[in-house]
Structure 1
């Protein structure tokens, strides 16, 4: 069993993001290449973004702190603390409307058929 304080980790990652030239920081909370489930805490300073990219597969985003906008070519969704957003299975982007931290959860196939 492993217990992690997302609140403490969010503070730490936001501090790191604020000092990074990209305005971003990320930390894998759980998972990795050998797991199907991967959870990553991502901190973004206001105005910074993850530019449009392919969908990682089945994925969700939970807003821990701040406000973000997740969008694709068809729509955009704003998220605030406590919001849970299902990520579209199309190209999309994520922008921080203010200093923000989100928990990205992705389920991916592993093994020879991945």
Structure 2
């Protein structure tokens, strides 16, 4: 894989998100269907969010710019540029407190594995 500039892509995605009625844009430079690990750059306009959803595996959110709130149940964690948030193994949402970009890294659970 050729080198890929995450900051440049994140800035471009934020411009796309600002033009979108959904207030968000995303690009997956690593992984895809049939892979266990994916990395996705997500841009969110302030006030927009990724609605509550399940966590299909282990995941982290690295805040590239702006400020976000990762929430699950009655708990919430704030993250700003450079912060790494561990995504809970539960339903959760991601709210942009300001225009923000994040790098989501996730690894799908393998079915049928036991400890």
TM-score, normalised by the number of residues in structure 2: 0.92
Q: Counterparts of 1:1-114 in structure 2 under 5 Å?
A: 1-109=1-109
Structure number with higher strand proportion:
2
CA deviation map 1:31-75 (0-9, x unaligned): 011211100000000000011111121000000010000001131
Q: Secondary structure at the match of 2:35?
A: coil
What is the CA distance between 1:29 and its match in structure 2?
1.4
The separation in 1 between residues aligned to 2:51 and 2:61, in whole angstroms, is 16
Q: Gaps (5+ residues) in structure 1?
A: none
The separation in 2 between residues aligned to 1:51 and 1:65, in whole angstroms, is 20
The separation in 2 between residues aligned to 1:48 and 1:29, in whole angstroms, is 23
Asked whether the equivalents of residues 58 and 109 of structure 2 are also in contact (C-alpha less than 8 Å), the reply is no
Q: Gaps (5+ residues) in structure 2?
A: none
Once superposed, what is the RMSD of the aligned Cα atoms? Answer: 1.5
Q: Give the number of aligned pairs.
A: 113
Asked whether the equivalents of residues 56 and 109 of structure 2 are also in contact (C-alpha less than 8 Å), the reply is no
Over 3 Å counting, the alpha-carbon distance change for 1:13 and 1:38 in structure 2 is same
Q: Runs in 1 of length 4+ with deviation above 3 angstroms?
A: none
